[in-house]
Structure 1
Amino acid sequence: MPISTSHNAFAKVPAVTLGFWIIKILATTLGETAGDAVTMSMELGYLAGTAIFAALLAVMLTAQIRATRFHPLLFWAVIVATTTVGTTLADLCDRSLGIGYLGGSALLAALLAATLYGWHRTLGSVSINRLDTRDAEVFYWITILFSQTLGTALGDWVADPEASWGLGYGGGAVLFAAGLAAVIALYLWTRTSRTALFWAAFILTRPLGATVGDFLDKPVAAGGLAWSRYTASGALVAAMLLLVLLLPQRAERLVPSRD
């Protein structure tokens, strides 16, 4: 059922603020460390890890879509679920399916582009200010899942010392941070579509988080800090909870206008 787009109507997602982006980066970093903890440290493998996190995502996403208003903890729990599924699914595509980082990134980029196209074609907008129907919500979360998965593949392709780019985890983090800086510059000094910039930033924060996560838990010989994946994940969960509880978490306002 459509949600009223009057001046006092709000979406079930948080307003895009500096705090939103800080928590988003922490969530994507957590997705990398937690996903690797299950698939690598617990040695369950990418297929089993994807199945586990997909089941958790299905439960939390059902609760999110059924909710009638914005719940910060629930929203961020779903984001973390999408980023852990993204981690294990990207690794499954890149490694277990044997299509490599380039093939995995190309496949996921095509799926993301197709989702955004289908969303815009069906509803006329991909703006978070237009999440006023169930269909819009579904497209929103599918887009997020594919963007999280693509970000993992891109992060591994750029940062993995054995990949073609091989920039290392620190170098990869710098590259994606520079990409985010470019998006911020476009936001501040141009009239580039705010919706396009939002999704560009949303996608770029994922490989940034992936490279930071790998930097925390990969061996020193591979360019990491060799933290335990469990320790890194626990620290990230604590930081996220603290910020979600302390930073203002207001819902995004719905507007009737389209892009």
Structure 2
Amino acid sequence: MEKLNSAVAKVPEITLVFWIIKIAATTLGETGGDAASMSLNLGYLVSTIIFAVVFLIAVVAQVKADRFNPVLYWVTIIATTTVGTTLADFADRSLGIGYAGGSLLLIFLLLASLLVWYRTMGSVAVTTVSSAKAEMFYWVTIMFSQTLGTALGDWTADTAGLGYSGAALIFGGLLLALVIAYYATQIPRTLLFWAAFILTRPLGAVVGDFLDKPIANGGLAMSRYGASIALVLFILVCGSIFRQRPAEAAH
């Protein structure tokens, strides 16, 4: 597994298309997770178990693949967003941790994952994700970031009282600030990447809630199934029109 092509990483090149698909995938994770746990009445725990199995299968397939496969990569990303949605909802609502408590716990786990990854591999840059060990750290970190995003998005929209549109503006503004920092400062690109990666998840969470929550609660009351299908089609169109290349691996 460690003898992979050293010229390329097994993750996509970071481009504008990457971020567009990432936001769509995180929004799909919210609508898809809610469709299973609420619309199908499976509950948060059962939905989490189902999506966790899908996530584990996808990660194993991703790690075993000998090169970057965009379909497999985005299926794995979507799996992390759906399990992140139901897991965060289970912790926040069923276990009674609350949005704030869940967010703090997940921030700790995310930072711990990044720290262990850095101390073990010497870098947390996506360009180093070309070995099985680096991939495992990568996907564990993403799992924590996706779950954190759901809790953070719900906390901002509900507990903080900003509503879905207000929370979307907040997270959208923070992402815009990161874009400006990318072009106007010398802040390490790896730090900016992970900050943006984390922030796209709560943005997707509140946008997903805005689409499918009742009008009385500030949403558009769209069908969760319809919204999910539309997002899947959007991702497929983007992936078909814009060819994604693997990131160049660090030497």
Q: Give the TM-score normalised by the residue count of structure 2.
A: 0.98
CA deviation map 1:222-242 (0-9, x unaligned): 000000100100100110111
Asked whether 1:69 is paired with 2:64, we answer no
- Long gaps (5+) in structure 2: none
- Which residue type is aligned with residue 153 of structure 1? A
CA deviation map 1:44-87 (0-9, x unaligned): 11100000000111111111110001111110000000000100
Q: Is the 8 A contact 2:13 2:248 kept in 1?
A: yes
Asked whether 1:169 is paired with 2:164, we answer yes
Asked whether 1:202 is paired with 2:202, we answer no
Q: Which secondary structure state, in structure 2, belongs to the residue aligned with residue 11 of structure 1?
A: strand
How far did 1:153 drift?
Answer: 0.3
Q: Which secondary structure state, in structure 2, belongs to the residue aligned with residue 249 of structure 1?
A: coil
Q: Is the 8 A contact 1:159 1:166 kept in 2?
A: yes
How far did 1:139 drift?
Answer: 0.2
Q: Is the 8 A contact 2:10 2:130 kept in 1?
A: no
- Which residue type is aligned with residue 156 of structure 1? D
CA distance, structure 1, for counterparts of residue 5 and residue 238 of structure 2? 30
2:218 is matched with: 223
Aligned partner (choices 196, 221, 227) of residue 232 of structure 1: 227
How far did 1:245 drift?
Answer: 1.3
Identity %: 59
Q: Is the 8 A contact 1:2 1:134 kept in 2?
A: no
2:8 is matched with: 10
Aligned partner (choices 70, 85, 88) of residue 87 of structure 1: 85
Q: Which secondary structure state, in structure 1, belongs to the residue aligned with residue 250 of structure 2?
A: coil
How far did 1:251 drift?
Answer: 0.6
Asked whether 1:97 is paired with 2:74, we answer no
Aligned partner (choices 234, 243, 249) of residue 248 of structure 1: 243
CA distance, structure 1, for counterparts of residue 174 and residue 153 of structure 2? 13
How far did 1:2 drift?
Answer: 4.4
How far did 1:3 drift?
Answer: 3.4
- Which residue type is aligned with residue 84 of structure 1? T
Give the number of aligned pairs: 250
- Long gaps (5+) in structure 1: none
1:132 is matched with: 130
- Which residue type is aligned with residue 82 of structure 2? T
2:207 is matched with: 212
1:122 is matched with: 120
How far did 1:91 drift?
Answer: 0.5
Asked whether 1:178 is paired with 2:173, we answer yes
Give the root-mean-square deviation of aligned CA atoms. 0.8
- Which residue type is aligned with residue 228 of structure 1? S
1:21 is matched with: 19
CA deviation map 1:171-203 (0-9, x unaligned): 000000001011111101000000000000000
- Which residue type is aligned with residue 139 of structure 2? W
Q: Give the TM-score normalised by the residue count of structure 1.
A: 0.95
Q: Is the 8 A contact 2:4 2:66 kept in 1?
A: no
1:112 is matched with: 110
CA distance, structure 2, for counterparts of residue 54 and residue 80 of structure 1? 11
1:54 is matched with: 52
How far did 1:4 drift?
Answer: 4.8
2:143 is matched with: 145
CA distance, structure 1, for counterparts of residue 237 and residue 4 of structure 2? 31
1:31 is matched with: 29
CA distance, structure 2, for counterparts of residue 220 and residue 193 of structure 1? 42
How far did 1:132 drift?
Answer: 2.6
How far did 1:32 drift?
Answer: 0.1
CA deviation map 1:61-116 (0-9, x unaligned): 11111000111111000000000010001001111110100000001110001000
- Which residue type is aligned with residue 200 of structure 1? A
Asked whether 1:191 is paired with 2:186, we answer yes
